[in-house]
Structure 1
Amino acid sequence: MKTYDSLVSGFAWNLPARYNIAAACADRWATETPERICLIEDRGERPAVTMTCGELVTASRRLAGAMAAHGIARGDRVAIILPQSFATVVAHLAVYRLGAIAVPLAMRFGPEALGYRLNASGARMAVLHRDGLETFGAVQPAPAGLQSVIVVDGGFDPNNGFLDYDLLIADTPPACGDAATGPDDPALIIFTSGTTGPPKGALHGHRVVLGHLPGIIFHHEDYPQPGDRIYTPSDWAWAGGLLNVLLPSLQLGVPVVFSGERFRAEEAYRLMARQRVRNAFLPATALRMLAAATDAETVRDLRLRTIASAGESLPAATYDWAREALGLTANEFYGQTECNMVLGSSAAAGVSRAGAIGKAVPGHQVALLGEDGRPVPPGVPGTIAVKAPDPVMFLNYWQDPAATAAKFSGDWLLTGDQAVMDDEGYVAFVGREDDIITSAGYRIGPGEVENCLLAHPAVKLAAVVGKPDPLRTEIVKAYVVLKDGFDAGETLAAEIQLFVRNRLSAHEYPREIGFVAEMPLTTSGKIIRREFRDSAASEAADATER
């Protein structure tokens, strides 16, 4: 790795006139070394199953041929509702080969959430796992534009008109040639989380994978190196799993390890040891869960070379734990669905600091803007903004020009996230604009309070929100999941409150603590603060009525 300054000063984008994600992620490697392993499915104690580059190309070309035979053409949207699996990758590449647009959707969506996204995207085809048939069948009204459904792993009534994935792969002649796409041609719609209103479909061009390469090379420290293998528990329906790991790693020729099972810390340790994982992308919540489950035996057989983390702010305590327990610096990075992996850390390049995301990733221009649209001085909170044009930047919100326009201030894309930059260019995350708590005239970011809570020996997970208050506008309320061996109660709540007050300030400590059995998480591993905000607001309303 070069120094950070030399990486930035020597960087220049050089996008090709023709670029197709499928050709870049599979065809090149299949031409050179068709037996090269690109995907590894870990099956616990059973032998792992692998897919080669040659097999991936053949399967994706056959599925592309089947999709074309059932009416899918350039520009059509294809919903991919699958867990981490071989079929997920095959479906993505098949869609890109046709010049169609992939719409990855999470298996955990309920009928209402699924139906909204299918209708909003105008999906003409869905590729669906059999475990999602019940939810899919409950979508009302049925998606208007949907014309055909491909079901993976069988288990459905052949008389209902669904198509069998395995039969299509086995019997369909491969599609001949790929659509002639360029970097700016549409490839992918990823829906936002909907924290500030209905989810919006962020439309990305094929260039989005190219745009992620500098970031993944940066925070995985001269990635790839011989023997590298990457793993993430993050759902491939989310930008974190799909664009932070899967597609750029395939383009760089790094085997991607997956299990498709729900994340459990103890099993994740065993999986990484079994598959000789060298690189891992682990959201901060997953890292905290690993920290709580660590002992000498769990880390003994690990072969990790790099750890990257994103999705939410990485607590300093977790950063320190990774160094002490794993002997690695967790390289944090930042982005959002519309413009991802634009800030980051790389210990090998000399960019690493506990409590900070890092600096602008080479190739991206990032600033913190005030309400007047101008950069704020060091130490003053501002909105994280990214300068256009940028290859990772979305093309637009699907069929929503007004929302697209509102996302920009001149040439700057406004993320809506608040942060502070120091004199050296390090950026520390404060919180989303809608997460900021206003209490007695103070603006409080939940991240700092959550990080402090997580340093308490009893706290496993924490979420902080503002609870409406007639005197202070809002008070800080914390929802806490305790570690095993600790009992919830007023005594422990008071101890935790004092712990935070002594380390932060009188206006930041949580005036109320609610103990919960589990933390609601998005598919990307982020805490769903919205649920807690709604709960706190309901509590406040009930108190007012009384």
Structure 2
Amino acid sequence: MGGAPVLKIGNTYEEVYNSFRWEIPEYYNIGVDVCDKWAHQRYRLALIYENESGQVEKYTFWDLKRLSNGLANGLKAHGIKPGDRVGILLPQSPEAGIAHIATYKMGGIVIPMFTLFGTDALEYRLSNSEARGIVTDEANLPKILEIRERLPHLETVILTRGETPDGVLSFWDLIEKGSSSFQPLKTRADDPAFISYTSGTTGPPKGAFHAHRVLLGHLPGIQFPHNFFPKEDDLFWTPADWAWMGGFMDVLLPSWHYGIPVVAHRAKKFDPEEAFHLLAKYGIRNAFMPPTALKMMRQVQDPRSRHDYSMRTIGSGGEALGEELLAWGREVMGLTINEFYGQTEVNLVVGSCSEVMEIRPGSMGKAIPGHRVEVVDDSGTPLSPNVIGEIAIKRPDPVMCIEYWKNPEATREKYLNDWWLTGDLAKKDEDGYFWFVGRKDDLITSAGYRIGPAEIEDCLMKHPAVAMVAVVGSPDKVRTEVVKAFIIPKAGVTPGPDVEEEIKKFVKVRLAAHEYPREIEFVTELPMTTTGKIIRKELKALEIKRKSGC
């Protein structure tokens, strides 16, 4: 198979990790790699796209090459130059993939943006990046037009489908008028490719400025948790938005690097029943599923009776899955879900691979081959096993961002000697498994104990009354903080004092007396980032406000 795997298949984790070596070429371009190198196989399928009304379009790599060339010529004709930033504000769609490829090939810098963003979030990113152009659709164009006059750099607005108002260009007209031949810019592997903004849960979003090499840096982190991806008949899908690293860097572009087709599905919100339908309809073999999506799918009763799916791998990351979800994966999905860990700035550096290692529920796995990952103290010294410290990644590492865009101070703060500090707390056991504890600012201090929310949430998810949960520290005059759980109950459960006491006892006997939630609040929803992570910070702020007399 073309695009040879980076990892050597071995019998043990140690064998796979120790045999790995990076081979990063001096010159490398993401657009050429994921598209043009496969285009000579004119009928090789790249994309299956199903829109909201169920209509299906298919694209080969040859199609993508010609279409992206036309768009690259169109961008160039309208003044977009190498180094200029181009926003992509689109859902999963052919146009999103084409816009990525075209921008990379012409040397532009992509700014991927979520369609769920409002005008303030969009204005911040487009202003901060000084974007010269943007590609968007009918649903999102009004937001761009509303803020356009406040964005002096934004000269070119391109609409994918629909009626184009004055001052807006048509995506498909640009392609039609542009030549289907284009000479890609000869970029170095270290040249910039995109700016991905952080979730902004710890202050204003920061732009992680990534080089073309970052795709190569991701490959071990795709192959490992997907059990030595790619294999014959692999077909990838994710419900994650392609504006998120989990969408375009964990699925779309790595799949295309290996010449593997991707399913794109335009959906306004995640529907777990529809997810099972898609898996069966297209014979999807591989998926990246955020934990929230898996928890929702777990609520679907007896999906096998309605959907004939057969998957090879599921990878998940963002929050620990825990024993219950892993057991559900084996029983209902017929596989072991592999977990992984990473951040916008340095992604897919820890993970599991059920083919070569034991899966330990609650653990994120081990360092992915190619990455040096440790738990360090405040001086940057790796800690002894089972001691809580900060997850750190050693540089140089091809998956690591160049810097924070226009923010040298924030960049300096992330480094301690040659370690990139993640701000995440964890323990590493004697066997090299990492156990997530929480964000530094998520840590709960209660009666002298340092308590991480992840283990408590994992325990609570095992209770039959709990559908979803978030744990935070709530101010307390005596203990400094007490453990508080915000719980979404399962359908059919009526919250009340009896259920509350039962849940408290459930945790107390399974964890420790100081770790059970002394306070429980039943809610209908939890604050989430656009990437599906619970924003504990908002819940903690709510508690501080409520108890401001503490």
Question: TM-score interval w.r.t. the shorter chain?
Answer: over 0.9
Residue 383 of structure 2, aligned match among 355, 376, 386:
376
Of the candidates 455, 459, 478, which is equivalent to residue 448 of structure 1?
Answer: 455
| Contact 2:148/2:154 (8 A) holds in 1 | no
- Worse-superposed segment, 14-23 or 136-145: 136-145
Percent identity between the two aligned chains? 47
Structure 2 residue corresponding to 1:186, chosen from 182, 189, 192: 192
| Partners of 1:294 and 1:57 in 2: CA distance | 43
| Cα distance in structure 1, aligned partners of 2:449 and 2:149 | 46
Q: Paired residue for 2:280?
A: 273
Aligned pairs for 1:141-180 (under 5 A) are 142-156=150-164, 158-159=165-166, 161-174=167-180, 176-180=182-186
Equivalent position of 1:354 in the other structure: 361
Shift of 1:510: 1.5
Partner of 1:245: 251
Contact 1:234 1:523 survives alignment (8 Å): no
- CA contact under 8 A between 2:277 and 2:307: conserved in structure 1? no
Q: What letter is aligned with 1:173? A: S
What CA distance in whole angstroms lies between the structure 1 residues aligned with 2:121 and 2:54?
35
CA distance in 1, matches of 2:306, 2:452: 34
Equivalent residues of 1:61, 1:94 under 8 A apart: yes
Amino acid corresponding to residue 228 of structure 1 in structure 2? D
* 1:120 and 2:119 aligned: no
On the 8 A contact 2:436/2:454 being kept in 1, the answer is yes
CA distance in 1, matches of 2:503, 2:119: 39
Which residue matches 2:6?
Answer: none
SS in 2 for 1:340: coil
Helix, strand or coil: the match of 1:519? coil
Q: Give the superposition deviation at 1:141.
A: 6.5
Question: Per-residue displacement from partner, 1:248-300 (whole Å, max 9, x unpaired)?
Answer: 11101111112121211111001111010001111111111111114153575
- Compared with structure 1, are the counterparts of its residues 324 and 299 closer, same or farther at alpha carbon in structure 2 (3 Å cutoff)? farther
Which residue of 2 is the match for residue 202 of structure 1? 208
* Deviation digits for residues 475-524 of structure 1 (CA, Å, limit 9, x no counterpart): 22111111111112233222222222221122211222222212332232
What is the 5 A alignment of 1:414-453?
A: 414-453=421-460
Tell me which residue corresponds to 1:343.
Answer: 350
Amino acid at match of 2:133: M
Structure 1 match to 2:537:
530
Distance 2:85 2:62 in 1: 26
Instruction: Indicate the SS of the match to 1:348.
Output: coil
Pairing of 1:489-500 with structure 2 (within 5 A): 489-500=496-507
- Pairing of 1:19-58 with structure 2 (within 5 A): 19-31=28-40, 33-43=41-51, 46=54, 48-58=56-66
What is the distance in 2 between the residues matched to 1:73 and 1:244? 28
Q: 2:191 is matched by which residue type in structure 1?
A: D
Give the secondary-structure state (helix, strand or coil) at the position aligned to 2:88.
strand
Question: Does the Cα contact within 8 Å between 1:269 and 1:298 map onto a contact in 2?
Answer: no
CA distance in 2, matches of 1:488, 1:115: 42
Which stretches of structure 1, 4 residues or more, deviate above 4 A after TM superposition? none
Question: Tell me, which stretches of 5 or more residues in structure 2 are unaligned?
Answer: 1-8
Matched AA of 2:243 = A
2:3 maps to which residue? none
Shift of residue 416, structure 1, vs aligned partner? 0.8
Letter aligned with residue 49 of structure 1: E
From 232, 236, 249, the equivalent of 1:230 is 236
Deviation at 1:379, TM superposition (A): 0.8
Counterpart of 2:478 in structure 1 is 471
- Secondary structure of 1:210's partner? helix
Distance between the aligned counterparts of 1:68 and 1:8, measured in 2? 43
Q: Which residue of 2 aligns with 1:213?
A: 219
Deviations 1:32-89 (A, max 9, x none): x121111111347845321111111111111111111111111111111111111111
Residues in 1 aligned to 2:201 and 2:542: alpha-carbon distance in whole angstroms: 15
For this pair of structures, how many residues does the alignment match?
A: 540
- In the TM superposition, 1:284-295 aligns within 5 A as 284-295=291-302
Residue 92 of structure 1 pairs with residue 100 of structure 2? yes
Deviations 1:347-371 (A, max 9, x none): 0122422111111111111111011
TM-score scaled by structure 1?
Answer: 0.96
Q: Which residue does the alignment assign to 2:17? A: 8
| Letter paired with 1:434 | D
**Matches of 1:320 and 1:436, distance apart in 2:** 28
Q: After the TM superposition, which of the residue ranges 497-506 and 116-125 deviates more from structure 2?
A: 497-506
Q: Distance in 2 between matches of 1:69 and 1:310?
A: 41
**Does structure 2 conserve the Cα–Cα contact (< 8 Å) formed by 1:185 and 1:205?**
yes
CA distance in 2, matches of 1:131, 1:90: 19
Matching residue's letter, 1:42: E
Alpha-carbon distance between aligned partners in 1 of 2:484 and 2:243, rounded to the nearest angstrom:
31
Contact 2:138 2:162 in 1 (8 A): yes
Moved more, 8-17 or 132-141: 132-141
One-letter identity of the residue aligned with 1:421: K
Work out the CA distance in 1 between the residues paired with 2:80 and 2:224.
37
**Deviation readout 1:96-138 (Å, 9 max, x if unpaired):** 0111100001011111111111111111111111101232234
1:397 has 2:404 as partner = yes
Pair 1:141–1:376, CA change in 2 (3 A): farther
Q: Which structure 1 residue ranges, 5 or more long, are not aligned? A: none
SS in 2 for 1:368: strand
TM-score after normalising by structure 2: 0.95
Q: Per the alignment, in what secondary structure is the counterpart of residue 35 of structure 2?
A: helix
Indicate the larger mover: 360-369 or 255-264: 255-264
Give 1:129's aligned residue: 137
Give 3-state SS (helix, strand or coil) of 1:177's partner.
Answer: coil
Instruction: For 1:183, give the aligned amino acid.
Output: A
Q: Alpha-carbon deviation of 1:171?
A: 2.1
Cα drift, residue 532 of structure 1: 1.5
Aligned-partner Cα distance in 1 for 2:304–2:333:
12
Cα distance between partner residues in 2 of 1:432 and 1:366: 17
What is the distance in 2 between the residues matched to 1:140 and 1:465?
Answer: 39
Q: How many angstroms apart in 2 are the aligned matches of 1:35 and 1:194?
A: 42
Greater CA deviation, 47-56 or 394-403? 47-56
- Alpha-carbon distance in 2 for matches of 1:138, 1:514: 39
Tell me, in whole angstroms, the C-alpha distance in 1 between the residues paired with 2:182 and 2:54.
Answer: 37
Distance 1:141 1:168, change over 3 A: closer
